[in-house]
Amino acid sequence: MKIVILEGSPNKNGSSNALAKAFMQGAAEAGHTVDILDAAHADIHPCTGCIHCGYEGPCVQKDDVEKFRAAILAADMVVFVTPLYYYGMSAQLKTLIDRFCAFNSSIQRKHMKSAIISAAWNADGWTFDALESHYKTLVRYLNLQDMGAVWGRGCGTPSMTKNSRYMHEAYELGKSL
């Protein structure tokens, strides 16, 4: 299976990216091809809502979204990776997802698999409620098949994350595919 990981952390060596690497290792060991795309450091402009794309592209904006579009549509699975910022995904990942507007139908027709990996400083049981709800809505709307999630509670620093059970959970999620 071809998997594309969409990383949304502005911190290239942060907790969510460490979890993504553990997932990638497990998936690669299971025989899958995995590519990581850095949405946080790409040139991606916000959707303007102009609907010039007609919901199936191309977008009038000329930025890095076309390379993301090609990679996503060539994949069998998409993995959303984000730190938890104010109980939602990072603005960087959300900006990319908003631009899915120009190829929603193509994603919906593919019946792709998906997963989400997130890290948060907060360890309360309700920490990921809003992000989990948003992810479930994306799964439903984009006609994705949810393969699982890693909700890294109490992963405020890379060292906290690397010493947590979530590194193993991310690895095992990738390995289980």
H/E stretch holding 96: helix 91-98
> For residue 173, which amino acid is it?
L
Cα(28)–Cα(21) distance, integer angstroms: 10
Domain boundaries, the chain: 2-175
CB atoms inside a 10 Å sphere around CB 55: 12
pLDDT tens-digit profile of 108-131? 999 999 999 999 999 999 999 999
Q: pLDDT band at 48, cuts 50/70/90?
A: very high
Residue 37 pairs in a beta bridge with: 6
Ranges assigned E (strand) in 9-160: 33-38, 77-83, 113-119, 145-152
CATH topology of domain 2-175: Rossmann fold (3.40.50)
Say if residue 98's pLDDT is above 90: yes
Say if residue 58's pLDDT is above 90: no
> Residue 56: its pLDDT value, please?
87
Cα(10)–Cα(164) distance, integer angstroms: 21
Cα(41)–Cα(165) distance, integer angstroms: 28
pLDDT over 70 for what percent of the chain?
100
Three-state secondary structure of 119-158: ECCCCCCCCCHHHHHHHHHHHHHCCCEEEEEEEECCCCCH
